Amino acid sequence: MAVDQKDRRKERIDRGIKVRSDGVYAISSWLEISYLVAPRLLFIVGLLAAPILLLPVPYWQKVLSIICIYSLLAISFDFLANYVGLVSLGGGFYIGVGAYVAALLNMKFNIPIFVTIPVATVVGAAICTVVFLPCLPLRGVYFAIVSLMFPLLAARVIEALDIFGGTDGIVGVDGFSSTWIEQYLLIIAVLAAVFFLRRMITEDVGLVFSGVKDNDQAVKASGINITKYKALGIFVASSLGCFGGAVLSHIYMWAGLSQFALDFSIIPIAATVIGGGGTLIGPVIGCLILVPVSELLRDFGTLRIAVYAIVLTLFIVYKSEGIMVYASRKYEQFERWVSI
Kindly list the residues in this chain that would bind another protein in the complex (CB under 8 A). 81, 87, 134-135, 137-142, 144-146, 149, 152-153, 156-157, 159-160, 266, 269-270, 273, 300-303, 305-306, 309-310, 312-313, 316-318, 320
Shortest Cβ 253–another protein spacing (Å): 27
Instruction: Enumerate the H helices of the chain as residue ranges.
Output: 30-53, 58-79, 91-109, 113-132, 140-161, 179-200, 204-214, 216-221, 226-252, 263-275, 282-296, 303-318, 322-332
Closest approach, Cβ 210 to another protein, in A, equals 17
Non-local (6+) Cβ contacts of 226 within 8 A are 212, 216, 219, 220
Nearer to another protein, 55 or 161 (CB): 161
SS3 category, 241: helix
Cβ-based nearer residue to another protein, 86 or 125:
86
Residue (263 or 332) nearer to another protein, CB: 263
Q: Kindly tell me which of 53 and 310 has the beta carbon lying closer to another protein.
A: 310
Measured at the CA of 256, the angle between CA 254 and CA 259, to 5 degrees, comes to 105
Torsion sign, CA atoms 204, 210, 212, 218: negative
Instruction: Kindly state the smallest distance separating residue 143's Cβ from another protein, in Å.
Output: 9
Residue 297: CB minimum distance to another protein, A:
10
CB of 146 to another protein, least distance (A): 5
Write down the least CB distance from residue 168 to another protein, Å.
15
Question: How far is C-alpha 147 from the geometric centre of its chain's CA atoms?
Answer: 16
Least separation in angstroms between CB 20 and another protein: 30
Distance CA 97, CA 79 (A): 20
Task: Tell me the backbone φ, ψ of residue 119, rounded to 5 degrees.
Answer: -65, -45
As measured in angstroms, the least distance from the Cβ of 273 to another protein is: 7
CB of 202 or CB of 215, closer to another protein: 215
Cβ nearer to another protein, comparing 67 with 135:
135
- Give the alpha-carbon dihedral of 97, 180, 188, 298, to 10 degrees: 60
CB of 227 to another protein, least distance (A): 11
**Helix or strand or coil: residue 202?**
coil
Q: Which is nearer to another protein, 121 or 272 (CB)?
A: 272
Query: How many angstroms separate the CA atoms of 207 and 186, rounded?
Result: 28
Q: What is the DSSP string of 51-119?
A: HHHTTT-HHHHHHHHHHHHHHHHHHHHHHIIIII------HHHHHHHHHHHHHHHHHHH---HHHHHHH
How far apart are the C-alpha atoms of 28 and 26, rounded to whole Å?
7
- CA dist list (Å): 326 to 182, 323, 332: 33, 5, 10
Which C-beta is closer to another protein: that of 26 or that of 314? 314
Residue with Cβ nearer another protein (59 or 318): 318
